Structure 1
């Protein structure tokens, strides 16, 4: 094993020491600063994990693929469509595996919801609307600093594309380096929109701005609305990311005419809700199969279902809740890495190969463009193809 990082005094030292714990298994965490030296020196690697700033993803990934290694690359696949396209082409040319880090695609809870609720049982009926958000508190969005005496020398910073230590530590907020919160956070969830709908968006309109963090280059608040055309009809999908308030955290809600799925990667949060015109008997076979668990409510809360007279505006009072009987007690990224390793061993197919990562990059990066142009932007079907 080997590790490469330009921050020698902190990241490189820390990770190298952790990898050294595997010496007993014949491995050691050989440290490098220059990724080219690592690729030229190490001869017995099977795969490379690229967890560098977005603007380096294409170069690092392509170099590793061309050296004959399988690659796991963190999302966003690239901060540019051209970079993402070259990554897909390199994976095809070399025949090596390229997994993009949209980790919800390997999360057992998301897989359960997609396989059982969306595809098999069609529990939600016709999906018409999606809502999602990732709200972060002001405190969690403060600029990152660095320990005294741990600065990277100016020549090294410049060599790798950074103006200074502040930019190195906070690259996500700089144009040309990252994509801002809509890319850092939103891409995780917007990826799920397209996955669960089995469709690509046809348009997006967005509003955002540098409303609070005035010294930053990317938009600190963004609200976007996508339009999808699915086999069953139009779906409108809203997404927001905030950096000043953490209310309700992060989640995705898929709303159909028969039910609603609310799910989050966070702390096994999630439920399925049956619309009150759908009878309990219609969902009972799926409960019997263990796909759902009925959440018992107090009698008062179920009064509407027992024939109580309600104002027409109170049509959601008696919506029944069901829990998702799948939990995940490991770090959120772990199943996606396991899927990657299993694919290398020939035991599985990648859950997010390069082509899917590319589709999501096209979908997400268009939001910043829509904010900048302050207009509705259309997607052409060919934009999603390489």
Structure 2
């Protein structure tokens, strides 16, 4: 049977049954035993964001993996020109078999995040996984469980948490500078899909399309569904809600102190492409209501909601986006935080924070639980948008209440032979 048709469980049984590397709770990275020892990373997915992430681990990379051989060749050449020789793989499971790897950096389409992360944790590797953490709510909880069961450090790639402006906004909000918070506005852009799909065809020889699909449903190959375009189809992603929304909703969660919780209801409306060039929302206005009465309003292409996060309270408001923070009144930003104000986790480098935590075994600034909870809000928004009705959410039990159709959407079936185990 081809490797792409072998489940992780059978793969482990046949190739590593006697190897202690998969007894992950007992395995610590080599770097733990020497603070000066170089941390070794493997990278799964080396396309656009994958190449960007490589920049943060240039001194650590030893192996790369991608289902597109052209991408592998290009990145390997780029690294060679920088004086770095890496081992290359077309199947991530073979990369995970390298016992010298301390950590894995995952920059693949969203529908692969769960399996890549869970299998890496089971293989005794720490994980940096791009946002959104998951494709579904069920996947996210399974990823948290795998990280905890295997004592792994798992960082979500929500790098805005390592930006001083976003931290400042959240510290001011949580220190009461705005008084009681009533609303957080989250602005996200419209889809940037390239347009009409055109005819399906055969995948190019450099792309292992079967492996690209992985657990996603079988579909004919179309160039406007793969690589960057994956994010505009429900099989693989959740559109800008889980793209930019995963960043700005994460900041809303941080500022509200909801890293281990979430809303109790979600409702709103959305529009979709009239010719169905893609499936995800074209525009939306989704309201998440929390138990304390605060609402988080996510607006896609809404004229009154700028891209970023706007915290609104009884004493004013704070707006923060990449490279910019403002307040009304301006005095809110001018008064420095006092010693007894809220001071949040400080990270000046998202990649660096992950590497530091591999050594210390502390939780990173955007731990897997945080990434899961922020992604959950995104997923709830998409479920409400797709159904066109209000849904009730129990953040403690992590269940949709009183709506069987909506409740079924917290998970998705996996294409055989792939399984979400655990």
The 5 Å alignment of 1:64-213 reads: 64-115=120-171, 117-120=172-175, 122-136=176-190, 140-143=192-195, 152-153=204-205, 156-161=208-213, 163-164=220-221, 165-169=223-227, 170-199=229-258, 200-211=262-273
Partner secondary structure for residue 155 of structure 2: strand
Which residue does 1:257 correspond to in 2? 314
1 CA distance for matches of 2:211 and 2:356?
A: 36
Q: Using the alignment, how far apart are the partners of 2:157 and 2:279 within structure 1?
A: 25
Task: Deviation per CA, 1:65-117: give whole Å up to 9, x if none.
Answer: 111110000111111122212211111111011111122222121112222x1
Distance across 1 between alignment mates of 2:387 and 2:254 = 27
Quote the offset at 1:8 in angstroms. Answer: 1.2
Looking at structure 2, the residues matched to 49 and 334 of structure 1 have their Cα atoms a distance apart, in angstroms, of 19
Following superposition, the deviation at residue 189 of structure 1 comes to: 1.0
User: Matches of 1:248 and 1:361 in 2, distance apart?
Assistant: 20
1:4 matched residue in structure 2: 65
C-alpha deviations, 1:207-252, integer Å up to 9, x for none?
Answer: 113135622122222221111233xxx212211124xx99986221
Please give the residue correspondences for 1:243-322 in structure 2 after superposition, counting only pairs within 5 Å: 250-265=307-322, 268-274=323-329, 287=334, 289=336
Whether the 8 Å CA contact 1:213–1:220 is kept in 2: the answer is no
CA RMSD of aligned residues (A): 3.0
SS in 1 for 2:85: coil
Cα distance 1:90–1:216, how it changes in 2: closer, same or farther (>3 A)? same
CA contact (8 A) 1:226 1:237 kept: yes
Aligned 8 A contact 2:270 2:385 in 1: yes
In 1, Cα distance between equivalents of 2:276 and 2:134: 25
Partner of 1:372: 386
In structure 2, do the counterparts of structure 1 residues 202 and 48 end up closer, same or farther at CA, with 3 Å as the change threshold?
same
Which structure is larger by alpha-carbon Rg, 1 or 2?
1
In structure 1, how many angstroms separate the alpha carbons of the residues matched to 2:196 and 2:119? 29
Taking a change above 3 Å as real, the CA distance of residues 14 and 154 of structure 1, as seen in their structure-2 partners, is closer
CA distance in 1, matches of 2:224, 2:193: 14
Listed as ranges, the gaps of 5+ residues in structure 2 are: 1-61, 214-218, 339-346, 400-421
Once residues 133 and 89 of structure 1 are traced to their aligned partners in structure 2, the CA distance between those partners, rounded to angstroms, is 31
Q: Secondary structure at the match of 1:76?
A: coil
Contact residue 67 and residue 91 of structure 2 kept, 8 A: yes
**1:169-191, Cα deviation, whole Å (9 max, x unpaired):** 32111222111221122121112
Q: Alpha carbons of 1:118 and 1:347: their partners in 2 closer, same or farther (altered >3 Å)?
A: farther
- Residues 1:176 and 1:141: Cα distance change in structure 2 (over 3 Å): closer
Where 1:43 maps in the other structure, the secondary structure is: coil
**CA distance in 1: counterparts of 2:165 and 2:196, whole angstroms:** 32
> SS of 2:290's equivalent?
strand
TM-score, normalised via structure 1 length: 0.74
1:123 shift after superposition: 1.3
Gapped runs of 5+ residues in structure 1?
292-332
Summarize the Cα distance change of 1:289–1:248 in structure 2 as closer, same or farther, 3 Å threshold. closer
CA distance 1:111–1:144, change in 2 (3 Å): farther
Q: Does residue 382 of the first structure (1) align with residue 396 of the second (2)?
A: yes
1:16 alignment partner in structure 2: 76
- Alpha-carbon shift at residue 55 of structure 1 (Å): 0.6
Query: Corresponding residue for 2:415?
Result: none
Aligned to 2:289: 227
Residue 347 of structure 1, CA deviation: 8.2
Go from structure 1 to structure 2 and tell me whether the alpha carbon gap of 1:356 and 1:288 turns closer, same or farther (over 3 Å shift).
Answer: closer
- TM norm structure 2: 0.68
Q: How many corresponding residue pairs?
A: 317
Over 3 Å counting, the alpha-carbon distance change for 1:269 and 1:105 in structure 2 is same
